[in-house]
Amino acid sequence: MQPTDMPTTDRDVASALRRAGAAPLRTVTLDGGMALASWENRQGEAHYERPKHHALSVYTLAGNRTSRLVAGRPVSHGFQGAVCLFPAQSQSHWLIEDHFQFLHLYFDDTDLQRCIEQVWDSESRHISLTERYQVADPLLAQAGQLLASTAWESPTERLAVDHLTQWLLLQVVERHSSQLRRAPKVRGGLSAEQSRRVREFIESHLAEPISLNQLAELVHLSPWHFSRLFRTSFGAPPHRYLLHRRLERARHLLRASDAKIMAIALECGFTDQSQFTRAFRQRYGVTPGRFR
């Protein structure tokens, strides 16, 4: 994850939200230029006037008293888990009458075209997205909730964030665009040489942030194809495998060294001891100190 020329809160939709009184809780710009923002609002009116980018919204907390207005009248109402898709150049008017929180994913036509090229191995010069306002889409809602509960700033969560945002974009193209076609099935796994290269890279970089793009580039695959081939070869998605290896390394160090627990946490890629303790307890049923 890295900064780009357009900070998350300078996007057109984000600027409209700030004018309406919404407050950003967290923001992050992802590799490649897509961005995530978690927002909360309590009251006011928001006007989205032909943004230059697309936005996917998932209501992560409440939202029942948020309405879309047409000619001054409510035509739909929100609910926890509601999904909205705002294509570039769309217009909409919103009334907020109570506290709620929501997640936004910002992306543009370049991101959509890259997805089409990588997943379907074809070009698509123009992809039209379908406007969706306060609809039920359980798959997108669940992914939005998972992203909202993920520590975006944590190096140990970087792969999980990459994986979920890539998956969200794929679902938008597959389910809510003019493409309207299912992603092709990926068969088989990584070759023995590819698996070795990826495994060695992970083992030698456990203390550092690792992105999905980094791993995919090692074996000259798109992130989408890499994720699926990796899962077949390693039995878990990349972010879960990476977490497993970090915790296994930490367990070995707890047994074999006298280093402080905080030092071990940092050596295994965790940003602080409390995060390490939570992950270790969840995996092994005891805290690192108790285990030692």
pTM over 0.75: yes
Give the pLDDT of residue 4: 39
Pair (78, 159) in one structural domain: yes
CA gap 82, 88 in Å, rounded: 20
Pair (105, 156) in one structural domain: yes
Give the pLDDT of residue 125: 67
Q: Which of 107, 111, 104 is nearest to 148 (CA)?
A: 104
Give the pLDDT of residue 6: 47
Its domain, for residue 157, covers 8-176
Average pLDDT of the segment spanning 41-48: 93
Pair (202, 273) in one structural domain: no
187 inside domain: no
CA gap 238, 283 in Å, rounded: 17
- As a whole number, the mean pLDDT across the chain is 90
Pair (224, 129) in one structural domain: no
Pair (28, 74) in one structural domain: yes
Pair (12, 120) in one structural domain: yes
241-261 pLDDT tens trace: 999 999 999 999 999 999 999
269-283 pLDDT tens trace: 998 889 899 999 999
Which letter, b or e, does each residue of 163-181 get, where b requires 16 or more Cβ atoms within 10 Å of its Cβ?
A: bbbbbbbbbbbbbbbebee
Pair (13, 47) in one structural domain: yes
Q: Which of 202, 240, 237, 242 is nearest to 218 (CA)?
A: 202
Output the domain CATH number for residue 34.
Answer: 2.60.120.10
184 inside domain: no
Confidence of residue 65 (pLDDT cuts 50, 70, 90): very high
Pair (58, 120) in one structural domain: yes
Pair (278, 135) in one structural domain: no
1 inside domain: no
Number of domains in the chain: 3
80-134 pLDDT tens trace: 999 999 999 999 999 999 999 999 999 999 999 889 888 887 776 677 899 999 9
- The answer on pLDDT for 62 being more than 70 is yes
Average pLDDT of the segment spanning 72-84: 97
211 inside domain: yes
Pair (142, 198) in one structural domain: no
Pair (19, 154) in one structural domain: yes
Give the pLDDT of residue 9: 61
- Higher local confidence (pLDDT), 196 or 222: 196
- The answer on pLDDT for 5 being more than 70 is no
Confidence of residue 135 (pLDDT cuts 50, 70, 90): very high
Pair (31, 156) in one structural domain: yes
50 inside domain: yes
186 inside domain: no
24 inside domain: yes
CA atoms within 13 A on the CB side of 210: 28
CA gap 232, 225 in Å, rounded: 11
Give the pLDDT of residue 129: 94
Output the domain CATH number for residue 280.
Answer: 1.10.10.60
144-183 pLDDT tens trace: 999 999 888 787 888 989 989 999 999 999 999 887 677 7
